[in-house]
Structure 1
């Protein structure tokens, strides 16, 4: 009876640990796949294949929400195509999932650029301020801030 109790106790303790390890491995695989799809999107965009690049970026975003580069790059593609509403949404998404100050800075800087294009200067100022909070040394952001 004692051995049965020890066995059951071991199973109850080890199953969540194994499950957490499997979840971590799956997240790592998903992030790797998402990163590869982002690279594919970059390549297609450099070859002026916007439609396929957009598909690749969207797949990358769906595969791993932890990949801040995919929504940022898609936002940049939209911005360059003067599709500012879509660009803003993707920059905002990138800023929300970004884990580094550098990534956050780039996202907020470009949100400020979108607001400038829309002539929404108060919001542009706020976005640029947030960008500078994440990188106070960026002269371009400081220059862009009205």
Structure 2
């Protein structure tokens, strides 16, 4: 009898733990679409005054933004901490901030995962940080 109650306790604990993990993943995904994310840096290039940003959730799985002077749009998939961008398209105007813009697009193309901490979105390729963004109001 005691073994059965111990097993039941373990199983209950696993259900509670998995439920918390699922809620955390859903909460993080919700955090992605809850903000406009302003680019602070990409590939070690300071982007603070570029005006570059990204917004998730304009429609389910869609993303849009501005990469300096050119607007862009595409799609994304997020599951847990995994994040991938695809189908990115944008305008092709020349501008003085092309170094920031090119670094931002390279960062988006290489992103494999993300973390959110203290209103900052960190994009990673493996363990390498490729971009840092700040949550701002829409």
Normalising TM by the smaller chain, what interval?
0.3 to 0.5
TM-score (norm 1): 0.37
Which of structures 1 and 2 has the bigger CA Rg?
A: 1
TM-score (norm 2): 0.39
Report the structure, 1 or 2, having the larger helix content. 1
Q: Which has the higher contact order (CA 8 A, sep 6+)?
A: 2
